[in-house]
């Protein structure tokens, strides 16, 4: 099967040799081994290394910053692949960077400038820590969010032993919830995603009080510090890109607030790493998370390109400020190669 995949990939390269190039932009978040991962954000170090072996052998790794110009100038090799990371987890430095350097695969890491060095977890990670880790919770929850009253019943799922954590560890949040705990997690994520930061923080404070826990960020889920961001950029393998200041869904903000998130993130990161920051990624990145006005603001801030989070091939006709990306999951090397073939067949 893998031999057929390789032959298919190479045959497609020969067929496309006379046409303008096409490329993939891969989206990673974390290189880590996690007990639970409801949004499939993590790839284990062993499997990430297998991905890099495949990319080095069967594709043409390319810098994201080179991609749009190479397309316009018809200088893009077929099977070109750019690697990107969102959010700035600390494992990007300690697990991902050494492997990227070993395999000589460049990458762009998009950082939320205002969250570097914070002791808090991302809100979706804190939800995981509160709701999907072993322990006992009250049997019901009542909460008013965005002016509307909500109520959830946990029933027997109020008790969540380690055996349940192991049993459900492969559940993903886009699938049907297998228990009231998972239903609560998904419901809270949907409600909190578009909230203003102050309202989201209020909800988290209330949730912590309901669960009877103190705010305490897990070391396994921490973000880079400012000093670590400098280390990440050192050496030239990794380009630093901007991911706003506080990671909001930009389309939910007034225009002035969007501008501030975009412009300040660029200026702050340039001060930190000492080089121009020319790549941007929309937080969350779905089409509903930014608007035409957002794109205009990114252009006006002197970014040269911007990445989304919806799938697709990058072609010569692709809007350089709506570059599609393909999220990578925790596949082994063979499955990753099969997926590359499917994506290039796109």
- The pLDDT of 213-232, averaged and rounded, is 93
User: Cα–Cα distance between 294 and 245 in angstroms, integer?
Assistant: 15
Look at residue 153 in the predicted model and tell me its pLDDT: 96
d(C-alpha 143, C-alpha 181), whole Å: 16
How many Å from the N-terminal Cα to the C-terminal Cα in the chain?
A: 19
pLDDT exceeds 70 at position 8: no
Residue 46 and residue 65: Cα distance in Å, rounded? 27
pLDDT at 22 exceeding the cut of 90: no
Q: With contact defined as beta carbons under 8 Å apart, do 173 and 189 qualify?
A: yes
Task: Check whether residue 21 and residue 136 sit in a common domain.
Answer: no
pLDDT at 14 over 70: no
- Rounded Cα gap, residues 261 and 248, in angstroms: 8
Share of the chain above pLDDT 90, in %: 84
Domain limits at 174? Answer: 123-219
Task: Tell me the pLDDT of the chain averaged across its residues.
Answer: 93
Q: According to the model, what pLDDT value does residue 61 have?
A: 96
86 shares its domain with 148: no
Instruction: Outline where the chain has alpha helix (H).
Output: 2-15, 45-58, 67-72, 91, 97-102, 123-131, 162-167, 180-192, 197-211, 226-233, 255-273, 292-300, 333-345
Same domain membership, residue 312 and residue 238 = yes
Whether residues 113 and 59 share a domain: the answer is yes
Domain endpoint, select from 171, 197, 219: 219
Contact between 51 and 3 (Cβ < 8 Å): no
Distance from the Cα of residue 258 to its chain's centroid: 20
**Beta 60-61 vs 42-43: how paired, if at all?**
unpaired
Q: Which of 106-120, 125-139, 209-223 has the lowest mean pLDDT?
A: 209-223
Read off the pLDDT band of 19 (50, 70, 90): very low
What's the number of domains the chain is made of? Answer: 2
153 & 63 share domain: no
Same domain for 283 and 161: no
Residue 68 is predicted with a pLDDT of 80
Tell which of 219, 237, 266 closes a domain: 219
Judge if 333 and 242 occupy the same domain.
yes
Looking at residues 50-78, what average pLDDT do you find?
89
Regarding whether 334 and 248 lie in a shared domain, the answer is yes
pTM of this structure: 0.93
Q: What is the reported pLDDT for 70?
A: 81
Question: What's the mean pLDDT in 280-303?
Answer: 98
Nearest to 113 by CA among 279, 274, 258, 229: 229
Output the domain CATH number for residue 107: 3.20.20.370
């Amino acid at each position: 099967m893998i031999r057929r995949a390789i032959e298919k990939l190479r045959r497609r390269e020969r067929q496309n040799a006379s046409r303008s190039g096409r490329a993939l932009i891969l989206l990673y978040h974390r290189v880590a081994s996690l007990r639970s991962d409801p949004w499939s954000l993590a790839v284990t170090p062993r499997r990430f290394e297998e991905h890099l072996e495949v990319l080095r052998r069967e594709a043409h790794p390319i810098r994201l910053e080179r991609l749009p110009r190479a397309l316009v100038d018809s200088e893009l090799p077929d099977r070109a692949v750019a690697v990107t990371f969102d959010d700035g987890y600390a494992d990007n430095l300690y697990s991902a960077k050494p492997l990227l350097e070993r395999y000589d695969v460049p990458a762009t890491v998009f950082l939320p400038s205002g969250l570097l060095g914070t002791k808090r977890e991302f809100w979706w990670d804190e939800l995981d820590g509160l709701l999907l880790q072993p322990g006992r919770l009250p049997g019901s929850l009542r909460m008013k969010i965005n002016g509307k009253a909500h109520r959830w019943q946990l029933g027997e799922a109020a008790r969540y032993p380690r055996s349940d954590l192991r049993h459900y560890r492969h559940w993903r949040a886009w699938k049907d919830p297998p228990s009231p705990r998972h239903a609560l997690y998904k419901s809270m994520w949907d409600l909190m995603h578009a909230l203003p930061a102050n309202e989201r923080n209020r909800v988290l404070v209330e949730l912590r009080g309901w669960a009877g826990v103190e705010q305490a960020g897990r070391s396994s889920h921490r973000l880079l510090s400012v000093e670590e961001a400098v280390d990440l950029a050192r050496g030239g393998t990794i380009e630093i890109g901007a991911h706003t200041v506080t990671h909001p869904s930009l389309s939910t903000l007034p225009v002035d607030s969007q501008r501030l998130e975009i412009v300040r993130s660029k200026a702050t990161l340039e001060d930190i790493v000492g080089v121009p920051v020319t790549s941007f990624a929309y937080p969350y990145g779905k089409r509903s998370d930014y608007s035409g006005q957002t794109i205009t603001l990114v252009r006006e801030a002197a970014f040269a390109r911007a990445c989304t989070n919806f799938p697709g091939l990058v072609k010569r006709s692709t809007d350089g400020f709506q570059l599609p990306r393909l999220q990578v999951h925790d596949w082994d090397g063979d499955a990753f190669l099969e997926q590359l073939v499917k994506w290039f067949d796109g």
